[in-house]
Structure 1
Amino acid sequence: MPPISPQLHEEIGQRLRKDREGMLAAIHARTDGDTDDRPAISPMAHMGSNDDAPAGEMLSHNEEHLAEHETRLLQDIDAALGRLESGGYGICVRCGQDIPEARLVATPTVQTCIGCQEEIEKEQHTGRGPTM
């Protein structure tokens, strides 16, 4: 028996595909040329003729970090879609146990059960605790 219901499978699939489209749009908006044909993450994208160079560099640096974050989220979405299509969605990648549906609904890209997530966070000393 699959770890999630057919209804949840369809719901999560639609949500992940919608999130993927939105994330791709955000990434393209950040990396495509703007009115000056410079992507928002390019070093000089935030510099005008009278702008402060450190402020422009800081804005470009922030844009670069946002683009990296969005790219990681897109990778997480793609991985979740792959697990959904292969039948492995809802199964903890660390221990092989089923992930509770409430956790999957709260965070569709989650890969671990709460117990394994707590262990990972202890090992990495992040101390956040599980998100659901």
Structure 2
Amino acid sequence: MPPISSELQDQIGKRLRKDREDMLAAIHARTDGDTDDRPAISPMAHMGSNDDAPAGEMLSHNEEHLAEHESHLLADIDAALGRLEAGGYGICARCGMAIPEARLVATPTVQTCIGCQEEIEREQHTGRGPSM
């Protein structure tokens, strides 16, 4: 029996494909030429004749950071689609147990169950940590 229902598989598949289209559009908007034939991510894209150089550099740096983040998200989406097509979607990559459907609906690109994700965050000293 697959780790998720066929209805949820269809729902998540549609969502991931839509998210992929949206992410590709965002990446293309950031990397394709704009009205000045310079992509938003290019080093001098945010510099006009009277612009402040540090502000322009900061905007370009932000564009680069966002493009990198979007590229990582696209890779996560592609990986999730691959697992969905291969039949391994919904199985924790770390412990091999089923990932709860609510977690998959909340974050369709997730690869680990909550317990394993908490363990990863403890090991890497990431995450939110204790709250008050």
Alignment TM class, shorter chain as reference: over 0.9
Q: Secondary structure at the match of 1:58?
A: helix
- Matches of 1:40 and 1:120, distance apart in 2: 35
- The residue type paired with residue 14 of structure 2 is Q
Q: How well do the aligned residues superpose, as a CA RMSD in angstroms?
A: 0.7
- What is the correspondence of 1:21-32 to structure 2 with a 5 Å cutoff? 21-32=21-32
Q: CA deviation at 1:127?
A: 3.0
Which 4+ runs in 1 deviate beyond 3 A? none
Name the structure 2 match of 1:89.
89
- Whole-angstrom CA distance in 1 between matches of 2:14 and 2:43: 37
Structure 2 unaligned blocks of 5 or more = none
Identity %: 88
Residue ranges of structure 1 left out of the alignment (5+ in a row): none
2:106 equivalent to 1:106 = yes
Alignment-derived partner of residue 48 in structure 1: 48
Who is 1:69 aligned against? 69
The Cα offsets for residues 21-51 of structure 1, whole Å up to 9 and x where unpaired, read as: 0000000000000011111011100000000
Query: What corresponds to 1:117 in structure 2?
Result: 117
C-alpha distance in structure 2 between counterparts of 1:23 and 1:112, whole Å: 22
Q: How many residues of Structure 1 are paired with residues of Structure 2 in the alignment?
A: 129
In the other structure, the counterpart of 1:18 is: 18
Q: Distance in 1 between matches of 2:110 and 2:127?
A: 17
Normalised TM-score (structure 2): 0.96
1:127 corresponds to 2:127: yes
Shift of 1:57: 0.3
